Amino acid sequence: VSSRRALRGLCWLAVLIVPLWLAGEIDARGRGGGGRGGGGRGGGFSSRGPAMSGSLGRGATARPRPSTRPAPRPSTRPSTKPSTRPSTGQGARPGDRPSHLPSERPGQGGGGEQRPDRGEGREDWQQFLDQQQQDRQNYQSGMAHQRQEWWEEEGGHYYDGYEASSWMAAGMMFAVGATLTAAAVASLSCTMTPVAVSGTTYYRCGNQWYERAFTNGQVTYVVINPPAGH
């Protein structure tokens, strides 16, 4: 009798669970077949991938897929990232300031009674600037580090730069040896300027120096140390 009860219990359990399981399967297949959104990135598709090689194997010519990389999106930025986008030197935006900062720049009016006196305010503002500078350095360092990891993960290739344009921060610094596609360069806030040094053409963008090279068949900008004398 007990075995019959157990069998009956199992059957009822199956009757209850199987439809839920099937529903899950159908839902999963429906999502797979219908795509996963990804809108709003028009024109930024990567042409890279294993099928580009035309190889008959997955050896040296097979490239890691973009879909397998750790997605360097804003939500995954290092914890050292400040709540603000690093300033390009064009003035910090009020909305960018951390909440612990004075609500107004000293000497710019507003605040009235709540405004600290000038000396205290100047000190606070200096602390803000110092903190912002530190945050910026940490952020840049963190981003460059993450970029480097991604670069290594991908076998040293950036993919067409559309990822870069969506999350690259102004003033961001890259490790020497990092490679940027033309699209990634276009997303930088600085202007790439050719500089002839001893017969060789280098490129400068902000404080970073580059030279052009073929990387994976594309003309890219490779981060280098500054040329001698620069």
Partner 1 sequence: MALRSVLLLIACLVLAAPALAQEKATPGGAPEGGEPEGIDPEAVEAVRKAATFLVKAQRVAFRIDTEWDAVQPDGQKIEFGATRQVWLRRPGHVRLEGERRDGNRGGVLFDGATITAWDADENVYATAPKAGDVEAMTDYLVDELDYPLPLRYLVRRDLPERLTEGLRNAQFVGDAKLGDVLCDQIALRNDDVDFQLWIAQGPRPVFRRVVISYRLDDGWPQFRADLSDWNFEPDVGDARFEFVPPEGAEKISFAPRPRRARQSAEAP
Binding site for partner 1 (CB under 8 A): 4, 7-8, 10-11, 14-15, 18-19, 21-22, 25, 29, 32-33, 35-38, 45-58, 60-62, 65-69, 71, 151-152, 155-156, 163, 177, 179, 182, 201, 211-217, 219-220, 222
Burial 126-143 (b: 16+ CB within 10 A, else e): eebeeebeebbebbbebb
Give 23 or 129: the residue with its C-beta nearer to partner 1. Answer: 23
CA angle 146, 189, 152 (to 5 degrees): 20
CB of 198 to partner 1, least distance (A): 14
Q: CA neighbours within 13 Å on the CB side: how many for 59?
A: 4
CB of 153 to partner 1, least distance (A): 10
CB of 135 to partner 1, least distance (A): 29
Show the beta-strand stretches assigned E in the chain: 179-181, 193-197, 200-205, 208-215, 218-224
Give 19 or 107: the residue with its C-beta nearer to partner 1. Answer: 19
CB of 157 to partner 1, least distance (A): 8
Give 8 or 118: the residue with its C-beta nearer to partner 1. Answer: 8
